[in-house]
Amino acid sequence: MLTIRNVSKHYGETIALSGVSIPFRSGTIHTVLGENGSGKSTLVKILSGIVTPDQGEILFDDKPLRARGPRAFQEAGFATAFQEVLIAPDRSVTDNILLGLDGMFTRRIPRAAREDRAAAVLARFARTPIDLNAPAGSLALAAQQLVVLARAVARDPRVLILDEITAALDFADRESVFDFMKAQAADGRLVIFITHRMDEVMALSDDITVLRSGRVVTTGPRGTATPQQLLQLMAPQGAATPEAISEEVRHG
């Protein structure tokens, strides 16, 4: 469904990504692992249209993706729930979930249907009751994170990018979100999952990519590497030789 090929991004002298190539298969949960500074955030921003790569290309359905900017990526079928809780605190939960779906001067969703639409989206994964009329800023952090996820899901994306969104959730909501992710993949969509929790990686992933210092160390199906090998692959340069570990991963 989606391929990034030879993508690089520099910020001055800082190399955020260097020659990154990753194939993403439809109908899968593809987890991206890496320490802070590995390039995960830059990858998410590129696939959200926030950042433009310096070189390389993005292929979507085997065609070059020419989208520029967040709105164009959303219209192409991408949606991102970021780790940072980005809400309009003084606006209602309903308004926050449907934010961006309306036009500048017109409502695409009739006023009478807005609350039902927001409730239906939340019901797909939220177990915590949330008052749709409450100001989003009055909610607990975990509930705000669910609103952020609902805003992404409301777009009915083909590619859903989840950036550390489970960290603030309680057990019931987290398990429900996991079930939702599996259902999205079963429906033929692609879920790109960023997480630091190895239990989540091994339980949910179909494919795993490890980034280190802006480069891909390995990409492969879950089960190709053990949790310990993945942790070694993530380690700062010098702690382990990526070529040696990748060789061990390939040959067991």
Looking at residues 157-180, what average pLDDT do you find? 93
209 and 184 in a single domain? The answer is yes
Which residues share a beta bridge with 2? 24, 60
* pLDDT above 70: residue 10: yes
Signed CA dihedral, 238, 167, 32, 88: sign only: negative
Residues 169 and 64 in one domain: yes
Q: Is the model more confident about 167 or about 241?
A: 167
122 and 53 within one domain: no
85 belongs to a structural domain: no
**What pLDDT, on the 0 to 100 scale, is given for residue 27?**
96
CATH of the domain at 179: 3.40.50.300
pLDDT of residue 225: 85
Could you give the percent of the chain with pLDDT greater than 90?
71
| Residue spans of alpha helices (H) in 123-187 | 141-153, 171-186
Asked whether residue 207 is assigned to any structural domain, the reply reads yes
* 78, 161 Cβ separation under 8 angstroms: yes
Q: What is the pLDDT, as a whole number, of residue 241?
A: 46
Residues 162 and 243 placed together within one structural domain of the fold: yes
Total of domains in the chain: 2
217 and 237 part of one domain: yes
Separation CA 229–CA 33 (nearest Å): 12
Report d(CA 212, CA 233) in Å as an integer.
8
168 assigned to some structural domain: yes
Is 31 within the bounds of a domain? yes
Could you give the CA distance from residue 171 to residue 151 in angstroms, rounded to a whole number?
21
Residues 247 and 165 in one domain: yes
176 and 247, same domain (yes or no): yes
pLDDT tens sequence across 116-158? 999 999 999 999 999 999 999 999 999 999 999 999 999 999 9
For 64, 76, 129, 188, 218, the CA distances from 61, given in Å and listed in that order, are 8, 11, 38, 13, 23
Is there a single domain that holds both residue 142 and residue 163? Answer: no
Instruction: Summarize the confidence of residues 96-123 as an average pLDDT.
Output: 79
Residues 169 and 244 in one domain: yes
Query: Is 152 among the domain residues?
Result: no
- pLDDT for residue 180 is more than 60: yes
CA angle 95, 93, 178 (to 5 degrees): 115
Question: Is residue 84 pLDDT above 80, yes or no?
Answer: yes
Mean pLDDT of 172-178: 95
Q: Which pLDDT score is estimated for 142?
A: 94
The owner of tokens 């089960």 is 223
For residues 56 and 181, membership in a common domain is answered with yes
Structural domain boundaries, residue 73 = 2-77+157-251
* pLDDT of 19 higher than 90: yes
Instruction: Using the predicted structure, report yes or no on whether residue 111 has a pLDDT greater than 80.
Output: no
Q: Are residues 246 and 161 in the same domain?
A: yes
Q: In the listed set 129, 147, 165, which residue is the last one of a domain according to the structure?
A: 147
246 contacts 218 by C-beta, under 8 angstroms: yes
